[in-house]
Homo-oligomer: A and B are copies of this chain.
């Protein structure tokens, strides 16, 4: 009688990031004779549910599957310092048994920083790019890569049955403005030695060609500053550290003082300054309150709020709510990021207001090269395939649409459908000795949402919405606005679970409350004298009004239509 002994098998378990873009967390497992030996976790980030406001609500990976396997977790490896790759550690690190955490310099710094507020202390090891690390039967090598944040890496995981190239968020930036270019030799060497499966960022698979180098944007900043008579104001994500640095360096070239606005912008810059990643001479960095000491052409402001977030630095500038500076003719505002789908309305609202104040506004519709994605396009992805020459491929970090387009790309390289796994969260793949693969058991994961503990600027969370709905109710209104931006009709309100039918209120009270609300809205329109108030401002004012009037905080949903 012959016993077939299957020695080693590897399983890939995506606990997040696989089609939601964000909330990245990937588990690699080695089994020997069907017994789990070792687990490596790559990344542990928060998610930004797409249907809500960006950056406000958090989802975190569901780690239930791992809780009885803590003793097998050999390490957590982090690819780069973006929140959707590191920030869930503060919720999960202790529950995962506090395994060692490996990553590059900036990555570990940001990861620990995010954990500080929760008093979570990571056991970190700063990786050496020349070293290979052994974790049980895994070997891991970190490889330098480029993205929109310095110190981004890819990870080559070698197992007894083959190698896995974990190609997390990247673009092939041949001329990064700072730091290292991709280490093409190590990537090609991985391919030469044999890669069993490539896990590849697929978010840019709907764009042809190669993504622009980040340094192109620095050149654009210089060109834009050169032609600006007044203040130069740039807005981008605070996490895009290279972008912020390029803008500050361009400002210094033209002898402008740099003022950072927005909590996350200040915080991130402070962190990276300590490790030399923001080498702006101190005399060029000024505080908000000192803005009035300089002439407009001596000022460069770098502000959060490029997605039109209400209450963020840029939105406050656009509505003249900043105490120290008033936007005026000659000033130029540059949006150095594209609106994330769903945010267009808010962004255009801000742009309208900036124009009304007399500023020149530059955004991607009217100017090229203000923004370069941090994610590779089809060319970047094809190049990674060519370099690593994998037998199998799994697109990660994109939506279903991106996965499908990635599949098309693999066909251009001659791959067949059976070599590409399009997975959903929790769907797993087995890799056997001899190059056989198969879909494994589906790990059931739940949606886990957490409130935004001081991370975003302001906003309602899903959790808050649900709580509000269950305890305070909801009020809808549609404002009919005339062409001259005055109210065309007295606003009418509809509600659920708010006033009507609750004890202690009656129809008369309700009418009184709504009349007052309509009057309040009318006043805001009057104060704005012919310019359209910000939608968020109206909601905010209504929330305050309802609270004063009823001591309740209903969810306010407001639409405007032009009549």
Contact = CB atoms under 8 A, between A and B. Distances in A.
B383 A174 contact: yes
A210 B174 contact: no
Contacts of A529: none
A175 interface: yes
Contacts of A182: 386
Given A192-B185, A209-B210, A210-B210, A413 B175 contact: yes
A189 interface: yes
Interface in A391-421: 412-413
A191 interface: yes
A215 B414 CA distance: 12
B379 A184 contact: no
Of listed A174, A187, A213, residue having the most chain B CB within 10 A:
A174
A184 B386 contact: yes
A189 B174 CA distance: 17
A181 interface: yes
Contact of A189 (B185, B215, B379, B387): B185
Contacts of A210: 209-210, 379
A364 B91 CA distance: 57
Interface string A181-214: 1101101110110000000000000000110010
Nearest to A215: B412
A382 interface: yes
Interface string A375-392: 000010011011100000
**Is chain A's binding surface mostly helix, strand, loop or mixed?**
helix
Q: A181, A185, A210, A383: which has the most chain B beta carbons within 10 Å?
A: A185
A194 to B, nearest CB: 11
A191 B188 CA distance: 12
Interface string A163-193: 0000000001011000001101101110110
A175 to B, nearest CB: 5
Contact of A181 (B184, B187, B379, B386): B386
B175 A382 contact: yes
A337 to B, nearest CB: 21
Number of copies: 2
Interface string A439-479: 00000000000000000000000000000000000000000
Given A210-B210, A379-B174, A184 B387 contact: yes
Contacts of A187: 188
Interface in A1-58: none
B191 A185 contact: yes
A386 B174 contact: yes
A372 B172 CA distance: 22
Nearest to A219: B412
A210 B191 CA distance: 22
Nearest to A209: B209
A387 B182 CA distance: 10
A411 to B, nearest CB: 10
Greatest chain B CB density within 10 A among A215, A382, A413 is at: A382
Nearest to A189: B185
Contacts of A185: 188-189, 191-192, 387
Contacts of A387: 184-185
Contacts of A188: 184-185, 187-189
Nearest to A411: B175
A412 B175 contact: yes
A382 B174 contact: yes
A182 to B, nearest CB: 8
Interface in A301-321: none
Nearest to A184: B188
Interface string A112-156: 000000000000000000000000000000000000000000000
A443 to B, nearest CB: 35
Contacts of A386: 174, 181-182, 184
A260 to B, nearest CB: 28
A90 B172 CA distance: 44
Nearest to A385: B174
Nearest to A183: B188
A385 to B, nearest CB: 8
Nearest to A412: B175
For the complex of A and B, list the 8 residue pairs with the smallest distance between their C-beta atoms, beginning with the closest.
A185-B188, A174-B382, A185-B192, A188-B188, A175-B412, A184-B188, A174-B386, A184-B387
Interface of A: 172, 174-175, 181-182, 184-185, 187-189, 191-192, 209-210, 213, 215, 379, 382-383, 385-387, 412-413
10 contacts: A175-B413, A181-B386, A182-B386, A184-B191, A185-B387, A187-B188, A188-B189, A209-B209, A210-B379, A379-B379
Given A174-B383, A213-B412, 6 more contacts: A174-B386, A184-B191, A185-B188, A185-B191, A185-B387, A383-B383
